[in-house]
């Protein structure tokens, strides 16, 4: 069984091998925004309090995802890290949520699943180049 550090390294290595800069933190944040928008498409909101606002919320998330996809795929600069310590703190909070969401969806080892997905993505290459699906 691989350690979480080894799994993270395998994921990052696969992203680099696909031709993406896994070390560009602002661009990876943009990619995360795109993925959050795609994830939100898998859910429906039925909570009465949210029904009034959630349609707009999910609409905004969808629009954000489209813009994030365009920016991620462009050669444009995605900005800079203003406060690395705050970013790391919030990233830890996000990972707690990712692990809880994985648990709620019945995924036992989300890092192992992510490493498998990243390795499979190598076959596709960069979006728009050599894609088979």
Q: Is residue 65 part of a domain?
A: yes
**pLDDT (tens place) for every residue of the chain, 133 residues total:** 899 999 999 999 999 999 999 999 999 999 999 999 999 888 876 655 555 655 566 677 888 999 999 999 998 999 999 999 999 999 999 999 999 999 999 999 999 999 999 999 988 877 766 544 3
Q: From 113, 102, 39, 27, select the one nearest 71 (Cα to Cα).
A: 27
Structure tokens at 95: 């990972």
Q: Is residue 91 part of a domain?
A: no
Q: Is residue 46 part of a domain?
A: yes
Q: Is residue 67 part of a domain?
A: yes
Domains of the chain: total: 1
Give the domain range for residue 59. 25-77
DSSP summary character for residue 62: H
Question: What's the pLDDT at 56?
Answer: 65
Question: What's the pLDDT at 129?
Answer: 67
**pLDDT tens figures, 97-125:** 999 999 999 999 999 999 999 999 988 87
Q: Is residue 112 part of a domain?
A: no
Question: What's the pLDDT at 131?
Answer: 47
Question: What's the pLDDT at 63?
Answer: 87
Question: What's the pLDDT at 125?
Answer: 74
Task: Name 47's Cβ contacts closer than 8 Å, sequence gap at least 6.
Answer: 54
DSSP summary character for residue 130: S
Q: From 78, 75, 69, 60, select the one nearest 31 (Cα to Cα).
A: 69
Q: Is residue 99 part of a domain?
A: no
C-alpha angle 94/73/19, rounded to 5°?
Answer: 85
Q: Is residue 59 part of a domain?
A: yes
Q: Is residue 44 part of a domain?
A: yes
């Amino acid at each position: 069984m691989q350690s979480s550090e080894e799994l993270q390294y395998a994921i990052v290595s696969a992203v680099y091998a696909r031709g993406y800069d896994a070390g560009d933190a602002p661009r990876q944040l943009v990619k995360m925004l795109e993925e959050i928008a795609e994830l939100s498409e898998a859910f429906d909101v039925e909570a009465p309090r949210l029904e009034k606002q959630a349609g707009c919320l999910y609409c905004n998330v969808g629009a954000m995802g489209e813009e994030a996809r365009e920016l991620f795929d462009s050669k444009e600069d995605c900005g800079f890290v203003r406060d690395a310590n705050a970013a790391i703190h919030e990233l830890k909070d996000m990972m707690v949520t990712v692990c809880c969401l994985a648990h709620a969806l019945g995924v036992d080892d989300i890092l192992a699943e992510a490493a498998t997905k990243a390795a499979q993505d190598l076959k596709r290459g960069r979006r728009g180049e050599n894609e088979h699906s």
